Amino acid sequence: MDSILQKAENYVLDYLNNHLKSEYVYHNFHHTQFVVSKVNELIQSENLTEDEQEIVQLAAWFHDIGYTVDKAKHEDHSITIVEKFLKKEGYDKEKLNEVIVCINATKLHETPKILLEEILCDADFSHLASPNYMEISNQLQTEFENIGCGIYSKKEWLEENIKVFNNHKYYTKYAHINWNSIKNENLIKLKKELKKTLKKEDKVEKEKSKENKSEKSAETLFKITSTNHLKLSYIADRKANILLSVNAIILSISLSQLIPKLDNIDNAFLVYPTMIFVSFSVISIILSVIVTRPSVTSGKFTKEDIVNKKVNLLFFGNFHKMELNEFEEGLKQMANDKEYMFSAMTKDLYFLGKVLDRKYRLLRLNYTVFMIGIIVSVLAFAISYKLLCHPI
């Protein structure tokens, strides 16, 4: 006939296989076996009666079976299950109560009061002194994520582990002698890993900050340069308007004052100078108009243009004929592609510079024409007056 411990092992194995969710990758039968083995290890160093050994071993087999019901208050659920099992097996009532007391001692904020409770509590946390603690810790982290107990970053999880180590202590003499040193080694490993993780995160943050700073510098550069270009464009248009106004006044005076006087034979000397003067003024006006005349493109683009990054959506001339939803879609695509946005800003700046180059070349030509026109007109007036009015 099987002993009560063999029956308990078979019952727990069968119960966990049938009721424990797959999300529990740490608190499973393997963990239960591990705790039982550690209980047996601690029993060898203590002078316990057979009944005491049986009580703490039964408590070890059933201490986490409550996870099959719920993580919250799993110890209470474990007590309910073990009580039902042992009563069915006709187990001694006093010993059953001691099993329950041992399981209750494994609650988070409970402190063990008797040796049997200390043995089970030490065995339950013996994984802190395990050579493969980091692997066990990873399993526990995965379980936490699976059951909705929180998603931790590597830094946060290491800090939580260190907190557990600092708050934990072993109670039995055997655990103090044999497990504390390994536990402290694991704590040192955790602290080293945390330090390494913090360095990595700091490096990533610095690189991120550097990247953001670089992007911000690029944005500032584009902003300042674009503003300067727009100011230069405004200055060019203003200069062209000044010439336009001056020449318009000149033409107005010429048409109202000089042209009517050309009918008089005495004013024949004014014909050629006036024609030269008016011609240069007209040319200057035409150049001024060309400088200030806006140039608008087709105002349409296709989805292929956006995919191929051929269109600059930052310039109104490229989208003024598009539908709002199409323009918004194109702009979203550009906003999500830093390379495309940088390219668009570069093109915008480049073509703005090309427009300025054209404006200032025409403006320079206009001022040159105006200056030559004034000089030639004055010389023409002087020569005509000298030759026609005062011949030699």
What confidence tens digit (pLDDT) does each residue in 206-226 have?
777 666 666 677 677 767 777
The reply to whether 197 falls in a domain is no
Q: Output the pLDDT for position 269.
A: 61
Q: How far apart are the first and last CA of the chain?
A: 153
* Percentage of the residues of the chain whose pLDDT score is greater than 90: 45
Q: Which of 160, 178, 196 corresponds to the end of one domain?
A: 178
The reply to whether 208 falls in a domain is no
Spatial separation of the C-alpha atoms in residues 193 and 195, rounded to whole Å: 5
Q: How many domains does the chain have?
A: 2
Q: Say whether both 18 and 128 belong to one domain.
A: yes
The reply to whether 205 falls in a domain is no
Q: Say whether both 244 and 362 belong to one domain.
A: yes
With 70 as the cut, is the pLDDT of residue 252 above it? yes
Spatial separation of the C-alpha atoms in residues 238 and 250, rounded to whole Å: 18
**Range name among 186-190, 259-263, 275-279 with the lowest pLDDT average:** 259-263
DSSP run (H or E) holding 272 = helix 271-292
Q: Which of 45, 35, 54, 33 is nearest to 176 (CA)?
A: 45
Spatial separation of the C-alpha atoms in residues 163 and 168, rounded to whole Å: 9
Q: What angle do CA 305, 307, 312 make, to 5 degrees?
A: 50
Total-model pTM: 0.57
Distances (CA, A) of 350 to 222, 223, 258, 342, 347: 11, 13, 47, 12, 5
Q: Which of 227, 274, 244 is nearest to 369 (CA)?
A: 244
Name the band, by pLDDT with cuts 50, 70 and 90, for residue 190: very high
With 80 as the cut, is the pLDDT of residue 52 above it? yes
State mean pLDDT over 116-127.
95
Q: Say whether both 150 and 223 belong to one domain.
A: no
Q: Output the pLDDT for position 275.
A: 76
The reply to whether 286 falls in a domain is yes
Supply the range of the domain harboring residue 84.
Answer: 4-178
The reply to whether 289 falls in a domain is yes
Name the band, by pLDDT with cuts 50, 70 and 90, for residue 168: very high
CB 174 within 8 A of CB 45: yes
Task: Indicate the residue type of 133.
Answer: Y
Q: Output the pLDDT for position 85.
A: 94
Q: Say whether both 153 and 250 belong to one domain.
A: no
CB 81 within 8 A of CB 15: yes
CB 218 within 8 A of CB 186: no
Distance of CA 18 to the CA centre of its chain: 43
- Cα atoms in the 13 Å half-sphere on the side-chain side of 331: 13
Q: Output the pLDDT for position 21.
A: 92
Q: Say whether both 142 and 291 belong to one domain.
A: no
Distances (CA, A) of 264 to 59, 137, 150, 270, 277: 132, 112, 103, 10, 19
> Per 3-state DSSP, what percentage of the chain is helix, strand, and coil (rounded to 5)?
80, 0, 20
> What rounded mean pLDDT belongs to the chain?
82
Tell me which of 194 and 218 has the higher pLDDT: 194
Name the band, by pLDDT with cuts 50, 70 and 90, for residue 142: very high
Name the band, by pLDDT with cuts 50, 70 and 90, for residue 105: very high
Q: Which of 178, 205, 231 corresponds to the end of one domain?
A: 178
Q: Which of 178, 199, 229 corresponds to the end of one domain?
A: 178
Q: Which of 36-50, 189-203, 257-271 has the highest mean pLDDT?
A: 36-50
CB 287 within 8 A of CB 369: yes
Enter the tokens of residue 103.
């399981």
Task: Indicate the residue type of 61.
Answer: W
